[in-house]
Structure 1
């Protein structure tokens, strides 16, 4: 009789422990932009993939090195041409399924047109010391854009 009671009691105790782990309200690390900012601002980066609504446009950025500098200054240079824009990483409180915990990687270029195409508030898919993977799902036409920076 004791065994019959013990198994359900252990099961209930285990389920309560799992539920308390899943309901943690501390998600500050997933919405803190500081780690992403620190990663991006270390060294120079290159675009290793840019797909605009199914069209691979990576070659538009071949030979360019991107620097995410302090003061939100973003510079892209290939030794001949230099384009300046802005960047930031911000916490986004919108209720979407952003895998990075609602952080936006914001990029803005005014010109030329192919760099202006990068202007968006990208969702961070993943980031590491060597790779930053971004995605944007367009609200207008429903197209999906992906952008991957790899550290030089």
Structure 2
């Protein structure tokens, strides 16, 4: 008789354990809120204080340019003489890599000129504040690492 009671009890415990393993209550599938990054970026103008492309410091390519991240996704870079238009957004990171991102991508797109088109990427956000946005991209093709830092003017 004791065996007859023990078997259903073990079955119930097993089912409870399986149910808890299948629960969707964990937060691992939720994405971080992009709003704080967007709010920081849209406040004022920014300059590139560091751009390293696969080990080559190319910061000087952007000397004198002010970047404006407008609400609605418009991006402009101007130095008073030249002005280039692009787009930007902050979205959930769809990769499963172990980069130092916070699961948000800072997406930048410029059609040209070539040095601005080099910024076109879905950058991982390393850190951000009201005055600094630090980004990184590890290339899937050649394995190079690019870093980009914007500092508020």
Both structures adopt the same fold (TM-score exceeding 0.5) = yes
- Structure with greater Cα Rg: 2
d(CA) in 2 for partners of 1:127, 1:48: 14
Aligned to 1:127: 128
- 1:96 CA displacement: 1.9
Q: How many residues align?
A: 129
- TM-score where L is the length of structure 1: 0.80
Distance 2:125 2:31 in 1: 11
- Map 1:31-42 onto structure 2 (within 5 A): 31-42=32-43
Q: Find the counterpart in structure 1 of residue 15 from structure 2.
A: none
The 1:29–1:99 alpha-carbon spacing in structure 2 relative to 1, beyond 3 Å, is farther
Gaps of 5+ in 1: 1-23
Distance 1:99 1:25 in 2: 22
**Which is worse superposed, 48-57 or 25-34?**
25-34
The aligned runs of 1:133-152 (5 Å cut-off) are 133-152=134-153
Q: Which has the higher helix share?
A: 1
**Structure 2 Cα separation of the partners of residues 80 and 123 of structure 1:** 31
Question: 1 CA distance for matches of 2:29 and 2:133?
Answer: 20
Alignment RMSD (CA, Å): 1.7
Paired with 2:133 and 2:145, the residues of 1 have a C-alpha distance of 17
SS at match of 1:31: coil
TM-score, normalization by structure 2: 0.79
- CA distance in 2 between counterparts of 1:89 and 1:69 reads 12
CA–CA distance in 2 between the matches of 1:105 and 1:40? 10
| Aligned position for 1:62 | 63
Gaps of 5+ in 2: 1-24
